[in-house]
């Protein structure tokens, strides 16, 4: 059972470069989310998608973009990475947006130098 797959697991990136974090789920969940985890701040929502074709901004959306072309995929793009985007990024999904029982990927550790 795969659940949610994130790639890459870890990446070091030069500031100013473009980067896309990939997220794929095989549970046919309608809702998907991207969170970043920073020490002392917990998890903060970047962007979300309640269903394929729709996206919305979370708590910390600046510098990030997402797309939801189909049910399974929800990539997160950093158009021009900055050091403050160094973080661990978690993709998550839920059956729909009414339930908070999120299923998380294993995370992508991103370092921007």
Partner 1 sequence: AQKVTQAQTEISVVEKEDVTLDCVYETRDTTYYLFWYKQPPSGELVFLIRRNSFDEQNEISGRYSWNFQKSTSSFNFTITASQVVDSAVYFCAHQPGAGGTSYGKLTFGQGTILTVHP
Of 74 and 90, the one with the shorter C-beta distance to partner 1 is 90
Torsion over CA of 55, 61, 63 and 69, rounded to 10 degrees?
A: -10
Q: Looking up tokens 């394929």, which residue turns up?
A: 52
**Residues 75, 49 contacting (CB under 8 angstroms):** no
Kindly determine how many residues on this chain lie close enough to bind partner 1 according to the rule CB under 8 A: 27
Rounded Cα–Cα distance for residues 66 and 75 (Å): 6
Of 46 and 78, the one with the shorter C-beta distance to partner 1 is 46
Rounded Cα–Cα distance for residues 2 and 73 (Å): 14
7 binds partner 1 (CB under 8 A): no
61 binds partner 1 (CB under 8 A): no
Instruction: Please report how close the Cβ of residue 3 comes to partner 1 at its closest, in angstroms.
Output: 9
Instruction: Please report how close the Cβ of residue 45 comes to partner 1 at its closest, in angstroms.
Output: 6
Torsion over CA of 85, 59, 33 and 62, rounded to 10 degrees?
A: -40
Instruction: Please report how close the Cβ of residue 58 comes to partner 1 at its closest, in angstroms.
Output: 6
List residues near partner 1 by CB under 8 A. 31, 33, 35, 40-45, 48, 50, 58-59, 88, 90, 92, 97-107
């Amino acid at each position: 059972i795969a659940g949610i797959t994130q790639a890459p697991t870890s990446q070091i990136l030069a500031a100013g470069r473009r980067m896309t974090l990939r997220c794929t789920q095989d549970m046919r969940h309608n809702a998907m989310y991207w969170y970043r985890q920073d020490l002392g701040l917990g998890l903060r929502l970047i962007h979300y998608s309640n269903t394929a074709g729709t996206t919305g901004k979370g708590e910390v959306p600046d510098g990030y973009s997402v797309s939801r072309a189909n049910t399974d995929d929800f990539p997160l793009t950093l158009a021009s990475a900055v050091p403050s985007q160094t973080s661990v990024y978690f993709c998550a999904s839920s059956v729909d947006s009414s339930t908070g029982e999120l299923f998380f990927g294993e995370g992508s550790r991103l370092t921007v130098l």
